[in-house]
Amino acid sequence: MTTYSGLTTLEGTLDPATGTFNTLETLNMPTHATGDFVPGGTVTVPEYDPGEFTYVGYGPDGWIGTSDTWGTVYFTKTAFADAPASFPYETGAFPYYAANVTAGGTIDPATLTFTVDEVDNMPTEVMGDFAPGGVLDVPEYVPGEFTYVGYGPSGWIGYSDTWGYVYFTTDAFADVPATFTYSTGAFVVCFLAGTRIATPAGETAIEDLAVGDLVVTADGRAAPVRWVGVQTVMTTFADRLRTFPVRIAAGALGHNLPARDLLVSPDHALFLDGVLVQAGALLNGTTIVRETAMPERFTYFHVELDDHSLILAEGVPTETFLDTVTRRRFDNWAEHEALYGPIPAPTSEMAMPRIKSARQLPRWLRGGGGTPPRTPGPIRDERSTARVGSSS
């Protein structure tokens, strides 16, 4: 949960047509808010009673919440005397991060590894563009301009010509690791926890699968799990269009599939009507939507078999891990390296067309009518290095 400390509160109104907050009253009232700073998220402000607000958006240096009791309120670090009469606001997630500790170090782009040289017990609060190349101002540093590089297990990495590479983390001073892998914000191709995967013994939650467990493939085989990749996503730093999960409602694909709501990353492919279709191409605003109210951090899981195959997730044939994405973007990449060595044998992609955008969809999936294909039966298993498009 994110915590934000403000100096001043502004009560006012929103004009959605112009994206403007108009101040009605300014209060010299410090606050300490905690919660999910994403659209629709609940944020608790103990200085108010009742103190539950629904997050709406953010302004130049603070966030906006609504309450049935208190109306629309802007919580800001701006001093009382400098509070604006109006200002533009955004409706996205709050681009703010409060860290406990900073760690200077070096990065190895080849292995996506950060090596810590020095740790400082230095709290920081930053609001800005947490995207590759984004510029962030850290007022606790002089000069305080950093370029966003990526994120680690519990914080973000910035670069400054003066300060070099610095990791800003919520870890305690004693818990900062000597080295860790980081992400540059690249996309992920995985399932969310709780997704049920078919096994010979029945359905199993994906997070409960382990190396050697058997899963059922779409062509009827019982295949052993080679590895289960685990990847933590921090919403503050993530590219939401490429990382926030797609929710496919139960029955949305026809034939009562998926059996339950299925949540996968946008670039994860499902086998539909003889082709691999990436989930992001299926968005229709009703039965297949992008999740928006995600917690501060969430975890994806991905199953690897000995080959690129189709397993059954909530009854839907979905692809397994294909090593065109480096395993070092996963939290547990070292586990795979310990099992199979640093350079495992490459996996060939299934020789199937891959759909990445809505315009390539079959007519029935675009909502243009027609009949969904029959429930997938035995699938011809062909391997080839030739690709239609490229795997994510």
pLDDT digits (tens, 9 = 90+) for 224-240: 999 999 888 877 777 77
| Among candidate residues 65, 59, 45, the one with its CA nearest the CA of residue 95 | 59
pLDDT given for residue 387 in this prediction:
26
CA-CA distance, 340 to 102, in Å (whole number)? 35
Give the tens place of pLDDT for each residue, 89-112: 988 778 888 888 999 999 998 888
Cβ neighbours of residue 7 under 8 Å, at least 6 residues apart? Answer: 28, 30, 76, 77, 78, 79, 80
Outline where the chain has alpha helix (H). 240-243, 333-340
Which pLDDT belongs to residue 254?
87
3-state secondary structure of 339: helix
Residue 380, pLDDT score: 38
What pLDDT sits at residue 332?
85
> What's the whole-model pTM score?
0.58
**Could you say which residues of the chain have pLDDT below 50?**
186-187, 368-392
- Tell me what pLDDT residue 386 has: 26
Q: Where does residue 141 rank: exposed (0-12), middle (13-18), buried (19+ CB within 10 A)?
A: middle
